[in-house]
Amino acid sequence: MKFIHAADLHLDSPFEGLRQLPEPVWQLIYQAPFKATQQLVDQAIDQEVAFVLLAGDLFDRETQSVAAQLFLNEQLQRLIDAQIGVYLCFGNHDYQTANQAIDLPEGVHVFVSTVSTMTLTTRNQKRVAISGFSYPTRWLETDMAAQFPVRGDVDYHIGMLHGALRQSGTNHYAPFTLDELRETHYDYWALGHIHKPEVLQEQPPIVYAGTIQGRHKNEAGEHGYTLVRSQDTRLVPSFVPVNPVDWVTLAITVTDQQSETELIDLVFEQLSRLTDETTFKLVSLTLTNVEALPGQVVAQLNNGNWFDRLSQLQEDQYEANRCWIYETHSQPAATDIHYSQLDAEFWKAAQADVFTGDELTKAAGKKLLSYPFLADHLLASTTLEDTQERAENELLQQARLEADDHAD
Ligand SMILES: [Mn+2]
C-alpha cells in the first residue's frame, strides 16, 4: 500500500513582499504553490497511491479567490477520477466556520471540528482508519490530541493533526506532546502546520510534511510531500521535493571592481554558477568588502541606483538564467577598518544605544506606531538590522569621501 501525506499548500498566498518585482516574475512565484500541488496530483496518479491526506492550510486565508477554489477542486476531482481517496482537514489559515463551507467535489472526505474517524479498504484488502479534525477558528488552544481514539481493529491507523508541539508559552495551535501521540499506538501521524519538513519520530512515523512550496527566505530548501509505503506491518515515509521555486543566498566578496558595470559582471558571473534546471532561484545577494570599491560605486550601492540598474538587466536575463535577485545587502569586510581607532570605539558604543526598538519607536513617533502593520515592521529585528547596515554604509562612504579629499 502507498499513500501521500501533504500539508500547508497555502494556495493563493499573496506574496505581498515581492509585489515590486516585474509582473511575470511575481506570477512565477505566485503560481509556484499551485504548480507544486499539480505535480503532487500527477505523481499520486502515476504512483497509483491508495489515498492522499491533506493536513490543513490548503488555502492561505479563510476566504479564497474563486480561481484558487476552482483549481483545488479540479485537482481533487482528478484524484477522485483515478479512484484515489482524498482526506483533508482545515487548519488555522483556512479554518471553516459553519456558514463558510466551500463546495468540494463529491467523494472528498472532510474532517469536521470534532475528532472523528473514517475507514477505508484498499484494493489489496487492507483496512485503514484515519482520525482527524478541522479548525473552526483561527486559534485552537484545546488539547485535541487527547481526543483521538486509541488504535482501532484495522491494519493501519493514521492520525491527521494540524498543530504544534506544546511549548511553555502560548499554545494557539492544537498543542500536543509526543507522548500523547505515542499513546494512541497509531501506525502513522500525518502532521501539518510546521512548514519545514521534519520527522519527529522514525517508527511509528510522526511526520511534518512541511509546506509544499517555501514562501520566503526563512523557508529555503527543498519542499514537497511525503510518500508513505507499507513494509509488512510498518509504514515507511520518504520525502519527495516538488517546489518549483527555491530561496537562496549568494555572498560575494568584492575585490578590485572599478565600476558599477564591473560589479554587475561579477554578480552575473557568480550567479550563473548558482543556477540549475531544477528550480527557479530567488536570490538574496550580500556583497562584502565593499570598502575595496571606489567611493562612487559605494554611493551607487547605498542610494539604490546600482540595484535599479541590476534589476533592469535582470529583466532580459531571468528567463534564461532561471533566477532573480530580489534584494541586496552590502557590508564592509570589517566594521571598523575605515574609522580611526577612536571613531570605531564611539561607533560601537553608540550603535548599542541607538539601534534599539525604543529608539526607533521614538524616531517614528506615536502616531505611526498606532498602525499595527507599521509597528510590526518598525520593531522587526530585520528592520533594525537594515537600518544599522545603511547607517554603517553611509558612515563608511563619508569616511571614504573625506579620505579622498585629504588625498587630493
Ligand atoms: Mn501553514
CATH topology of domain 2-241: Purple Acid Phosphatase; chain A, domain 2 (3.60.21)
For residue 393, give the C-alpha cell.
554604509
Contact 166, 193 (CB under 8 A): no
State pLDDT tens for residues 64-84.
888 999 999 999 999 999 999
Average confidence (pLDDT) over 92-109:
82
- Report how far ligand 1's centroid is from the alpha carbon of 193 (Å): 4
Q: How far is CA 377 from the centre of its chain?
A: 18
Measured from the Cβ of residue 335, the count of other Cβ atoms closer than 10 Å reads 15
Which residues are in the CB-under-5-Å shell of ion ligand 1? 8, 57
- Report how far ligand 1's centroid is from the alpha carbon of 227 (Å): 19
Q: What is the pLDDT of residue 196?
A: 96
- Report how far ligand 1's centroid is from the alpha carbon of 373 (Å): 20
- Report how far ligand 1's centroid is from the alpha carbon of 10 (Å): 7
- Report how far ligand 1's centroid is from the alpha carbon of 89 (Å): 12
- Report how far ligand 1's centroid is from the alpha carbon of 192 (Å): 7
- Report how far ligand 1's centroid is from the alpha carbon of 56 (Å): 7
High-pLDDT (> 90) share of the chain, %: 66
Q: What is the pLDDT of residue 407?
A: 43
> Helix axis angle, 357-364 relative to 381-407, nearest 10°?
80
- Report how far ligand 1's centroid is from the alpha carbon of 14 (Å): 14
- Report how far ligand 1's centroid is from the alpha carbon of 162 (Å): 9
129: which residues sit within 8 A by CB, 6+ positions away? 117, 118, 119, 152, 154, 156, 157, 158
- Report how far ligand 1's centroid is from the alpha carbon of 179 (Å): 23
**Per-residue exposure over 153-171, b if at least 16 CB sit within 10 Å of its own CB, e if not:** ebbbbbbbbbbbeeeeeeb
Q: What is the pLDDT of residue 408?
A: 44
- Report how far ligand 1's centroid is from the alpha carbon of 195 (Å): 6
- When mean pLDDT is compared over 16-20, 77-81, 300-304, 369-373, the highest value belongs to 77-81
Q: What is the pLDDT of residue 401?
A: 58
- Where do you find CATH 3.60.21.10 in the chain? 2-241
State pLDDT tens for residues 377-403.
776 667 777 777 777 777 766 666 565
State pLDDT tens for residues 3-20.
999 999 999 999 988 999
